[in-house]
């Protein structure tokens, strides 16, 4: 049986000591996502001792788990019940934790068809900037009390509080999965994806690289096999999607800085120096490039998108700079939830 321990008391004590000392905290689990964002100078608050599955009823499709629990442990528990996290979060490291998954907010290839990490958060427990351990939301979708505050923790990078526990909606694994590789040029691939997005096609992942469109088809046997007959192509290795999600493909070994471009999915290929890999059916473009950050962001912004740097130290502003009005809201939210400014200060933006 997996090890379980409630270390919330120790975490609360550390937060209260930091408040008393006015000492910033560097909140982390295994550090598997430490390359994302700006470096944080502060006393390390390690959540990994606070771990274990609190409750899990497969018939209710809900699991409640402590933040320090490893994603591997969570995935194994769900797999034994024939279930999964539909947002397919990447681990990007052996010891990746549930808390890191929520606070980084990263989702895998299934994201455009199933939803993001935030979409599956039902409730949470958080240690606030006043040192209080509060519960928000609930374990069922219809319980909306505090639900939005739980979702705020997703992609907050630990800047708003210490996440200690989260309740997540899970789903059954698909009955049938098939993977295809279809050779075609990039313009044709994007056009096809735009057309198929308006049709009842059981696509759950779509990427483009090395002159070929890669598809994952999931669902009932009839619909999946019919789609395979329609599209043709060759069988794609089943491990491709995990290698893409965990950034193990040859593309990611390029030594140039890695950028993630978030774009409208019908955006044509972008004229940027370097190599690109198209993911999320066109909505996410991975870019390996030595180009200046401002040049990359200018191209992304021109088509209504944004750019995030995934290589530590490549730029002082890894996240897309915020407009003045939005930055003001971020600072107001930070002040309300972390009045002493102790939680991961400056991790996302120097001003927050």
Local confidence band at 289 (pLDDT 50, 70, 90 cut-offs): very high
pLDDT at 150: 86
Q: Taking all residues of the chain, what is their mean pLDDT, rounded to a whole number?
A: 95
Whether 279 contacts 109, CB under 8 Å: yes
143 vs 99: which has the higher pLDDT: 99
Is the C-alpha dihedral spanning 193, 194, 197, 200 positive or negative?
Answer: negative
pLDDT at 143: 40
Whether 39 contacts 24, CB under 8 Å: no
Note the CATH number of domain 8-172.
3.30.465.10
pLDDT at 3: 86
Chain centroid to CA 150: how far?
15
pLDDT in tens, 231-262: 999 999 999 999 999 999 999 999 999 999 99
Local confidence band at 142 (pLDDT 50, 70, 90 cut-offs): very low
pLDDT at 1: 54
pLDDT at 26: 98
Whether 61 contacts 83, CB under 8 Å: yes
pLDDT in tens, 299-337: 999 999 999 999 999 999 999 999 999 999 999 999 999
Q: How far apart are CA 272 and CA 199, in angstroms?
A: 31
| Least confident range of 22-31, 121-130, 139-148, 171-180 | 139-148
pLDDT at 210 over 50: yes
Note the CATH number of domain 174-246.
3.30.70
pLDDT at 149: 80
pLDDT at 41: 94
Q: Which two tokens stand for residue 307?
A: 């750019």
Please name the residues in contact with 35: beta carbons below 8 A apart, sequence gap of 6 or more.
Answer: 310, 311, 312
User: What are the domain boundaries of the chain?
Assistant: 8-172, 174-246, 251-321
pLDDT at 140 over 60: no
Interval 85-96 mean pLDDT: 96
pLDDT at 338 over 60: yes
pLDDT at 290: 97
């Amino acid at each position: 049986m997996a090890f379980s321990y409630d270390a919330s008391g120790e975490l609360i004590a550390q937060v209260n000591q930091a408040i008393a000392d006015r000492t910033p905290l560097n909140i982390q689990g295994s550090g598997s996502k430490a390359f994302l964002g700006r470096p944080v100078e502060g006393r390390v608050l390690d959540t990994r001792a606070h771990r274990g599955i609190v409750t899990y009823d497969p018939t209710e499709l809900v699991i409640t788990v402590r933040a320090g629990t490893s994603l591997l442990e969570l995935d194994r528990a769900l797999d034994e019940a024939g279930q999964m996290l539909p947002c397919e979060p990447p681990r990007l490291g052996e010891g990746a934790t549930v808390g890191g998954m929520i606070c980084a907010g990263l989702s895998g290839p299934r994201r455009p068809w199933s939803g993001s990490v935030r979409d599956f958060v039902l409730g949470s427990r958080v240690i606030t900037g006043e040192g209080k351990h509060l519960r928000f939301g609930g374990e069922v979708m219809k319980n909306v009390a505090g639900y939005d505050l739980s979702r705020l923790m997703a992609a907050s990078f630990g800047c708003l509080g210490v996440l200690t526990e989260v309740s997540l909606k899970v789903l059954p694994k698909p009955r049938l999965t098939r993977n295809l590789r279809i050779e075609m040029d990039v313009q044709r691939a994007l056009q096809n994806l735009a057309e198929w997005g308006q049709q009842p096609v059981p696509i759950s992942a779509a990427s483009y690289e090395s002159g070929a469109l890669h598809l994952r088809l999931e669902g009932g046997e009839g619909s999946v096999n019919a789609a395979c007959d329609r599209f043709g192509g060759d069988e794609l290795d089943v491990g491709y999607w995990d290698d893409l999600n965990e950034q193990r493909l040859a593309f990611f070994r390029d030594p140039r800085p890695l950028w993630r471009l978030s774009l409208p999915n019908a955006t044509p290929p972008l004229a940027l120096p370097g190599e690109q890999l198209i993911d999320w059916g066109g909505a996410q473009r991975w870019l390996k490039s030595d180009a200046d950050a401002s040049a990359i962001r200018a191209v992304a912004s021109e088509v209504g998108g944004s750019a995030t740097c995934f290589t530590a130290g490549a730029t002082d502003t890894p996240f897309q700079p915020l407009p003045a009005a939005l930055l003001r809201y971020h600072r107001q939210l930070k002040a309300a939830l972390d009045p002493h400014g102790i939680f991961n200060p400056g991790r996302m933006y120097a001003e927050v």
